[in-house]
Structure 1
Amino acid sequence: MRTTIEVQGARENNLQNISVEIPRDRLIVVTGMSGSGKSSLAFDTVYAEGQRRLLASMSTFAKRFVGQLKKPDVDFVNGLSPVVSIDQKTVGSNPRSTVGTMTDISDYLRMLFATMGTPHCPECGEAIPIRSPHQMLEHLLSLPKGTEVEVRAPVYQVYGEDYEYLFEQIRVNGYRRARIDGNAVDLGDNIELDEDETHTIEAVIDSFVVGPGIDQQVVTSLQHGLKLGDGLLSFHIVSPGRLTAKLRKFYEGFGCAAHHCVAGELHQAQFTFNDPAGACPGCTGLGVSMRVHPRLLTPDPTRTLNNGAFVKAAISNNPDSWGGRILHSLAAHYGLPLDVPFQDLSRQHVDLLLYGTKGGKFPVVIPPGAKLGRQHEGKEMKYSGIVNQLEHQYRRYRKRGESNAGMDEYLKKVMVEFDCPECGGARLKKSRRLVTVNDRNLYEIGEMHLIELLRYLSSIRPVARHRAVAEIVLKEVSTRLELLINIGLDYLNLNRRSATLSGGESQRIRLSSQIGSGLMGMLYVLDEPSIGLHPKDNVRMIET
């Protein structure tokens, strides 16, 4: 077996017919002045030829998908192994890419949570056991025959959407009944709720009387309800009668005794922000959302509302536009001055313009000089405010998947990136954030520094029924964490976005992934792997 890589007659780029022998199975440093041909030798000759030969060994069918690679300008290269190049560059701008996804550690942690996660009641935070639909059915059948049971699924308002949007989502899933703050409602009726108040809303999945022949109906209802309730259900006895003692026994050990909440089985897809089953509905798993910054709406606050204090398209002062009618209606009903500089308006009037009447109604007034029809005059209406209207417009625009250069440019001028108000940057649904392992949820684990995370994982003691899977997962994650720590990345966390990494950091992460693969006989070509490292970490890097 050859002990060197022999390069003869390399003329790539500025190399001048260079011949060199490079020892194999060692750490070799190619050094020299800028422009001396280091990269031309390492990347454009050795790596390029190794990659070309590997692809040339593939079948004709496979070559159709990878294309033809150019042969480097070199006489010959002998002694090559399969070669991997890891250069210095940021990973890209994909907002869904994190340190956890780059290293595959997130995949293992999802498996850990699906295996040994503990759900908690969304109302009181009490830990609740996991039940399959058939286990739920078996427990329900333990009630006396003739007991009427109502199955409900908790649903939550999405930030920025009104309650009608939530009711529509329930109706789309085929349900017409709900409980709002415990009161039964028909979703076919016109339901008005104060949008500034928080309400407890549950979709009524099914109601049945305990008795023979209900098994299939109940299991089907439970399966559908768990899907709508994101893995959570609640059971309520409609007419408890004399069942007080039996009910206490029914709820104890089955779910949350106080709120009658039960958790369904956990699956890996529920813990990824790249899947609708786990992604926060407010930001679709990005962890951030674009929100209107009020100061960007009024670039010149010395202007009055009549003189166009707001940026174009925020609200118009044209008397024939709907915006003009809104302004004059607010002026007539709330005393909003239209000829006072915006900077001199009272806090109440600024809040009225930006965030609306908050449920309050006012009559529509037709502005002086308006030429269009007066059909809306006197009609009572609500106003959600400029900020809420623009953010609602943005969400609708994004949901439709449209691309409009003009709209994008306009939104960039008035919107800035904030942590998602729905999930606080955690990227996951509320029900997923209520699942913990050793009292930490997945987001909290992802926020730990890697060295702290390694200590946390070493403290986990799986119970017997989880041990077979959990020990394998913990071993894999710990091995990858140790590699990252040894190459000087102990200060990172798994939630760190890839786009924020430096070139050296992203290179070392990719290097750790390659080393962790366990492949032998590989040839790695690295571009300044020690860049950005403290001198004390150089030895750890070499040992790795």
Structure 2
Amino acid sequence: MTTTTTAPGRSTDEPARPDVIRVVGARVNNLRDVDVEIPKRRLTVFTGVSGSGKSSLVFDTVAAESQRLINETYSAFLQGFMPTLARPDVDVLEGLTTAIIVDQKRMGADPRSTVGTATDANAMLRILFSRLGRPHIGSAQAFSFNVASVSGAGAVTSTKGGQTVKERKTFSITGGMCPRCEGRGAVNDIDLTQLYDAEKSLAEGALTVPGYSMDGWYGRIFAGAGFDMDLPVGKFSKAKLTDLLHGEARKIKVEGINLTFEGVIPRLRKSVLSKDVDALQPHVRAFVERAVRFSTCPECDGTRLTAAARSSTIGGVSIADACAMQISDLATWVAGLDEPSVAPLLASLRGTLESFGEIGLGYLSLDRAAGTLSGGEAQRTKMVRHLGSALTDVTYVFDEPTTGLHPHDIQRMNALLLRLRDKGNTVLVVEHKPETIVVADHVVDLGPGAGTGGGRVCFEGDVDGLRTSGTVTGRHLEDRARLKESVRTARGGLEIRGASEHNLRDVDVDLPLGVLVVVTGVAGSGKSSLVHGSLRGREGVVVVDQTPVRGSRRSNPATYTGVLEPIRKAFAKANGVKPALFSANSEGACPSCNGAGVVYTDLAMMAGVATTCELCEGRRFSDDVLAYTFGGRDISEVLAMPVAEAAAFFSTGEARLPAAQAVLGHLVDVGLGYVGLGQPLTTLSGGECQRLKLATHLGERGGVVVLDEPTTGLHLADVEQLLALLDRLVDAGKSLVVIEHHQAVMAHADWVVDLGPGAGHDGGRVVFEGTPAELVRTRSTLTGQHLAAYVGA
């Protein structure tokens, strides 16, 4: 596939080469007319400091254009159901093949989405049990928690021999969905006192459920349904209150318009409780957490399946038992089955389950909710689909596949990447870990800096050439941290007793206070279960993890950190106007796009498009607001600055603003100097979100801060800056507990807690606790052996 746009002064007439993907003049985001040739059927690693343009080149240019061109081969009707992909800003893209993106985005957050359903392992198990399970209860869908049992009967008119015949027909579908929880494995109890204020009438806003405003259609619907709008809800008759809360959907006519009335609770279950709680808007999520209590379904005991589906077994094992097994154990059980009638199915299922083990996910179970997987686990779960694929000459695109992996597991990941390459595929990897960079056939190093200081190709070639190239990555490729000569002395400890969440085995451990504690171990050994399960929610403990920062596409680092407030006030004071004018969500918003900067156009059956607002040209503010300046810049120019530039802008001269400079300094300290002050939060990676949250806590004194893999997304050169930041936090009086695999952080710790020895039920124990020097000296664990090799001991 080829896409070309001629640019003045640039030659695009070179003949296409079948052995490379040729990029000419890429200008997506911060890329500066990047020209690069990527060899096909090779493993190419893209590296560079955070924000240098790696993802812009790989994901937003190469992969995005490949997917866009494939989508264009479908009908306009089908395109309406596909994600909208704009054409990248690039002059020439030649030699593209089908791109499969394996990223770290959270998998389907639907409660019915599990590891098994995401990888087709569940589908194969259902067929297996429908063939071999005893007693036989039906087809494969009888074992599916996504299919409900349905039956019905009715008269059917047909013509036979020229005569009209009426016959009574019946039908039934046997599904496996638990009727009580509808296949979710959990039920919810609603606190009625949180739904309404008994002392108020409906007109006075008695309903406290988000979205139930009586000023709009809801007020008309309730009045049309026969409710007294001025009578306090507490004085409703029992029948009226039951109708208000539990009424079934029914048609009513309001002012000549046909509408539907439905009780508050049924509508709440459909519109809110059917979704993943973490995916809800903040105010709706707060209501749900306050008003709803979730518990395991008593009818199916959390298995999501009917009693019939659970009763059918193979060798005493039901499908619910199989899905609850650790995948490594399930693979052993399947390997022991010998039935010629389903031999091809068993071979395919064995291959899928073995892939989980090869990729370091053997500790999961098939019934694990997909929404609970970490970014790294989600990415590796997606990989399972592709390891056994017969497709060749495909471009696989990976986003830091070593995220969340122990050094021991990185070797297996490298082998899998090379296996995909050896099948004749092009493998593109965005990565910072030197262990993966060194196995590449080809390296593209972007930089030299981040944001506006990057966007250029600093080096193209093999790994040996990178080592001698003099680039930032080349200079730091062989960096190795040293063990500390002396460690800090603890001032007390956090007791954890009898920790047994997930695979933990009654763990007792004391985490020292006032020092840097690193909790490590192979993937699935129980690190997160120990730290998050035992420390989250304790008084004085702040957990800074990689979950997405809550907010809409209008939210940005300026609004999240609160730095926009002093900036708005400074603009207002300097120009003698109201601060509200300098908010794109308030009075200063562009009247055409309402402060979004883009205009969204719905094209009915075709994919909608987002175009830059013609009136404000993407600046989000009205022209009269942009006429006001502070320090020679208008508000849109300030929000377009990278954080580091903004910090310098507000530190001196007439624009000096200490309140803003302090917050921006914290963002620079955590390595986010390249991020735009007005950049939407929805564009930040998990590692960037974590560092953004950390920046908001830097000004606080004391307390315990928990960090979950803070090196995620950090370049080799940035890790040293992170270590200095961790030292500053401890020296300021904080106690740090860091879940981490990076050997440089382990070597820099004052105290190490190593869990293992393996993953899943082979882990869950503390196999070492002490100083890094002791861990290296004893070499008693996998972590100790890898750390000793890293520091050269």
TM-score, length of structure 1 as denominator length: 0.52
Instruction: Report if the CA contact (8 A) 1:97-1:497 is conserved.
Output: yes
**Shift in Å at residue 412 of structure 1?**
4.6
- Alignment partner, residue 184 of structure 2: 286
Unaligned runs of 5+ in 2: 1-16, 149-174, 201-234, 239-244, 249-261, 274-282, 417-793
Output the amino acid matched with 1:430. A
2:141 & 2:302 partners in 1: Cα distance?
Answer: 19
- Alignment partner, residue 388 of structure 2: 516
- Alignment partner, residue 362 of structure 1: none
Give the RMSD, CA atoms, in angstroms: 3.8
SS at the partner of 1:84?
strand
Output the amino acid matched with 1:516. G
- Does residue 444 of the first structure (1) align with residue 316 of the second (2)? no
> Which runs of structure 2 are paired with 1:468-483 in the superposition (5 Å)?
468=341, 470-483=342-355
> Which runs of structure 2 are paired with 1:377-388 in the superposition (5 Å)?
none
- Alignment partner, residue 371 of structure 2: 499
- Alignment partner, residue 528 of structure 1: 400
In structure 1, which of residues 408, 411, 415 is the aligned counterpart of residue 292 of structure 2? 415
* Deviations 1:477-535, CA, capped at 9 Å, x for gaps: 11111212111111111000011001111111112212333211100111111111111
Output the amino acid matched with 1:495. D
Instruction: Report if the CA contact (8 A) 1:45-1:72 is conserved.
Output: yes
Output the amino acid matched with 2:184. L
1:418 & 1:401 partners in 2: Cα distance?
Answer: 15
1:410 & 1:61 partners in 2: Cα distance?
Answer: 38
> Which runs of structure 2 are paired with 1:125-274 in the superposition (5 Å)?
130=136, 265-274=137-146
In structure 2, which of residues 319, 324, 330 is the aligned counterpart of residue 453 of structure 1? 330
Q: Percent identity?
A: 38
Instruction: Report if the CA contact (8 A) 1:91-1:499 is conserved.
Output: yes
* Deviations 1:233-267, CA, capped at 9 Å, x for gaps: xxxxxxxxxxxxxxxxxxxxxxxxxxxxxxxx521
**Shift in Å at residue 437 of structure 1?**
1.0
2:73 & 2:364 partners in 1: Cα distance?
Answer: 39
Instruction: Report if the CA contact (8 A) 1:448-1:494 is conserved.
Output: yes
Instruction: Report if the CA contact (8 A) 2:66-2:98 is conserved.
Output: yes
Q: Rate the CA distance shift 1:45–1:104 in 2: closer, same or farther, 3 A.
A: same
**Shift in Å at residue 401 of structure 1?**
6.1
Q: Rate the CA distance shift 1:430–1:66 in 2: closer, same or farther, 3 A.
A: closer
* Deviations 1:448-478, CA, capped at 9 Å, x for gaps: 111111001011122xxxx32x212211111
Output the amino acid matched with 2:57. L
Output the amino acid matched with 2:315. N
**Shift in Å at residue 414 of structure 1?**
4.4
* Deviations 1:68-92, CA, capped at 9 Å, x for gaps: 7422111212221111112111113
- Does residue 45 of the first structure (1) align with residue 61 of the second (2)? yes
In structure 2, which of residues 15, 31, 48 is the aligned counterpart of residue 15 of structure 1? 31
Output the amino acid matched with 2:141. A
Instruction: Report if the CA contact (8 A) 2:183-2:304 is conserved.
Output: yes
**Shift in Å at residue 438 of structure 1?**
1.8
**Shift in Å at residue 392 of structure 1?**
12
Instruction: Report if the CA contact (8 A) 1:95-1:499 is conserved.
Output: yes
**Shift in Å at residue 408 of structure 1?**
9.7
Q: Rate the CA distance shift 1:523–1:413 in 2: closer, same or farther, 3 A.
A: same
Q: Rate the CA distance shift 1:395–1:489 in 2: closer, same or farther, 3 A.
A: farther
Q: Which structure has more strand as a fraction of its residues?
A: 2
Q: Rate the CA distance shift 1:61–1:399 in 2: closer, same or farther, 3 A.
A: closer
Instruction: Report if the CA contact (8 A) 1:109-1:473 is conserved.
Output: no
1:58 & 1:314 partners in 2: Cα distance?
Answer: 49
Instruction: Report if the CA contact (8 A) 1:89-1:502 is conserved.
Output: no
Q: Rate the CA distance shift 1:64–1:317 in 2: closer, same or farther, 3 A.
A: closer
Q: Rate the CA distance shift 1:269–1:19 in 2: closer, same or farther, 3 A.
A: same
Output the amino acid matched with 2:317. R
Unaligned runs of 5+ in 1: 120-129, 131-264, 298-310, 319-371, 377-389
Q: Rate the CA distance shift 1:408–1:505 in 2: closer, same or farther, 3 A.
A: closer
**Shift in Å at residue 415 of structure 1?**
3.2
Which one has more relative contact order, counting CA pairs under 8 Å at least 6 apart? 1
* Deviations 1:274-324, CA, capped at 9 Å, x for gaps: 1112111211111001136xxx89xxxxxxxxxxxxx57799899xxxxxx
Instruction: Report if the CA contact (8 A) 2:115-2:370 is conserved.
Output: yes
- Alignment partner, residue 77 of structure 1: 93
2:71 & 2:288 partners in 1: Cα distance?
Answer: 46
Q: Rate the CA distance shift 1:410–1:535 in 2: closer, same or farther, 3 A.
A: closer
Instruction: Report if the CA contact (8 A) 2:194-2:291 is conserved.
Output: no
> Which runs of structure 2 are paired with 1:328-407 in the superposition (5 Å)?
397-398=265-266, 403=271
1:87 & 1:473 partners in 2: Cα distance?
Answer: 29
- Alignment partner, residue 141 of structure 1: none
Output the amino acid matched with 2:186. V
TM-score, length of structure 2 as denominator length: 0.36
Output the amino acid matched with 1:287. G
Count residues with an aligned counterpart: 314
SS at the partner of 2:313?
coil
